[in-house]
Amino acid sequence: MIGTMLQTGLATLAAFAGGALGVAWSQRAMRRLPLLVGLGMMALLWVTLTDALPDARAVLSGPAFAAAVLSGFCLFWLVSRHVSHICPACALPNFDAATADRLQTNAVLLMVALAVHSTLDGVAVVVGGPLSGHAGREMLLAVSLHKLPEGLALALLLLGAGYSRRRALFWTWAVEATTLAGGLLGALALHGASASWLGAVFAHVGGGFLYLVLTTLLALARRRPRIKSAGKSSLPA
Ligand SMILES: [Zn+2]
């Protein structure tokens, strides 16, 4: 239990560091964000395709595996469609005055969506270990790698929504702390669970990651060049 909480803590710290960097160097962080997000997403995609999904498939039947992946994908799709962007970085490529206006009313929804997502990040870190040792280590690394730009993007979005630096940092850390809650939830719920249950949860989380990677990479590809000037007008230096 202590080991799993330490691992989830490590992933959470990466998000905290991202949030702190975003608040401290908002202009410079904005310029580096697409690169960091791209790297984080590639790591997540790699581990999902080479570890999470194959390990889950090994303990599940074909239909059960497909249903679990699809349920994870659809959960994130539903939250993104009806609540808010599940990845803050997806909102940033089109960041402009209109987005900033919308964000002022939607910042709470964005934080709710991110809290759902971060809880599942925590579950992912915890479930990989019992299923197969190497999946746990690689999932921890990939989740931590994408948590840095995730925290950074959330802090930038909250600054853009008009939050003071202190409030942006507080809420970024509060939202990202749900990763720890996810780790605890996963450790308690999956204690002594059968391999097929672990596989189903891992496949569900993997399906969500596939949605996240797909939408983020599409958003980055569609990124408009005026992000710099928009960032300058909307974010504090
Ligand atoms: Zn995440």
Q: Model confidence over 5-24: pLDDT tens digits?
A: 888 899 999 999 989 988 88
Alpha carbons 142 and 180: distance in angstroms, whole number: 16
Using pLDDT thresholds of 50, 70 and 90, give the confidence band for residue 231.
very low
pLDDT in tens, 112-140: 888 888 888 888 888 877 766 666 778 88
Using pLDDT thresholds of 50, 70 and 90, give the confidence band for residue 216.
confident
Using pLDDT thresholds of 50, 70 and 90, give the confidence band for residue 181.
very high
**pTM of the entire structure?**
0.78
28, two tokens: 């410079």
Using pLDDT thresholds of 50, 70 and 90, give the confidence band for residue 73.
very high
Residues 6+ apart with CB under 8 A from 91: 85, 99, 103, 110, 153, 157
Alpha carbons 44 and 125: distance in angstroms, whole number: 12
- Please report the pLDDT score of residue 228 as a whole number: 43
The rounded Å distance from CA 121 to ligand 1 centre is: 5
29: containing domain: 2-234
21, two tokens: 């960097």
The rounded Å distance from CA 77 to ligand 1 centre is: 15
pLDDT in tens, 18-61: 899 888 887 777 777 777 788 888 888 888 888 788 888 888 99
Helices (H), strands (E): how many in the chain?
Answer: 11, 0
- Please report the pLDDT score of residue 234 as a whole number: 54
The rounded Å distance from CA 150 to ligand 1 centre is: 6
**What crossing angle do the helices spanning 62-82 and 195-221 adopt, rounded to 10°?**
40
The rounded Å distance from CA 193 to ligand 1 centre is: 24
The rounded Å distance from CA 18 to ligand 1 centre is: 12
- Please report the pLDDT score of residue 13 as a whole number: 94
State the total domains in the chain: 1
Q: Are 59 and 199 in contact (CB under 8 A)?
A: yes
- Does position 224 have pLDDT exceeding 60, yes or no? no
Alpha carbons 164 and 214: distance in angstroms, whole number: 32
Count the Cβ atoms, other than its own, within 10 Å of residue 118: 27
The rounded Å distance from CA 231 to ligand 1 centre is: 23
Spell out the alpha helix ranges (H) of 83-132.
Answer: 88-91, 97-131
The rounded Å distance from CA 102 to ligand 1 centre is: 22
